Amino acid sequence: MNKGLFLDRDGVINEEVGYITSIEKFQFKPGIVELISMANWLNYKVIVITNQGGISKGLYTHTDLQIIHDFMLNRLEAFGAKIDQIYYCPHHPEQTRCLCRKPEKLFFERAIHTYQINPKLSFMLGDKQHDLTPAKLLGISTVLVGVQDPMYSADYFFPEISDVLSILV
């Protein structure tokens, strides 16, 4: 069984600046490259689960998203950091219902199965409650990063990504 580091994308890997429609808007958050690199070294499977409802809204296409993700993965690779899998939900509740958009658990369950992940040895980093709820239901420890909200509940809260290192080791 493997350990898993689950990551939301917008607001965790890259700065949250509304819909990311092109690489010009994609900027890594401080500390995330080092965190992913360290997770790789510690033998975590690194899994990104992200809601990309902008596709359903017609703001960008699957191809646009692929270009953004290729850019992200290439930049990470240049720094010795690797993401094992990206799961994205292209749907938006204003357009269509689905089982893959967080807070649904589908992508988490798929990753756990595909990568033989033990939830009890795993963490989910998110900046919104909908990132944390499905993880919690599956027994994954939840980590809120960024700005704390009294409506959010998480096992850990860290203002900075770099602070998360302390719980991975």
Residues that are catalytic: 8, 10
* 101 forms part of the interface with Zn ion (CB under 5 A): yes
Q: In this chain, which of 100, 121, 138, 168 binds Zn ion, going by CB under 5 A?
A: 100
- The rounded Cα 162 to chain-centroid distance in angstroms is 15
* 91 forms part of the interface with Zn ion (CB under 5 A): yes
- Decide: 126 and 96 in contact? Cβ < 8 Å: no
Question: Quick check: helix, strand or coil at residue 39?
Answer: helix
Q: How far apart are CA 22 and CA 20, in angstroms?
A: 6
Q: Which stretch binds Zn ion (CB under 5 A): 1-9, 55-63, 83-91, 121-129?
A: 83-91
Taking the least distance from each CB to Zn ion, the nearer of 3 and 101 is: 101
Q: How many residues bind Zn ion (CB under 5 A)?
A: 5
Both tokens assigned to 129: 């409650």
User: Could you tell me how many residues make up the chain?
Assistant: 169
Taking the least distance from each CB to Zn ion, the nearer of 56 and 129 is: 56
CA dihedral 67, 41, 31, 54 (to 10 degrees): 30
CB atoms within 10 A of CB 169: 7
Q: How far apart are CA 108 and CA 87, in angstroms?
A: 9
Binding mask 138-167 for Zn ion (x = CB under 5 A): ------------------------------
Binding mask 14-53 for Zn ion (x = CB under 5 A): ----------------------------------------
Contact set with Zn ion (CB under 5 A): 89, 91, 98, 100-101
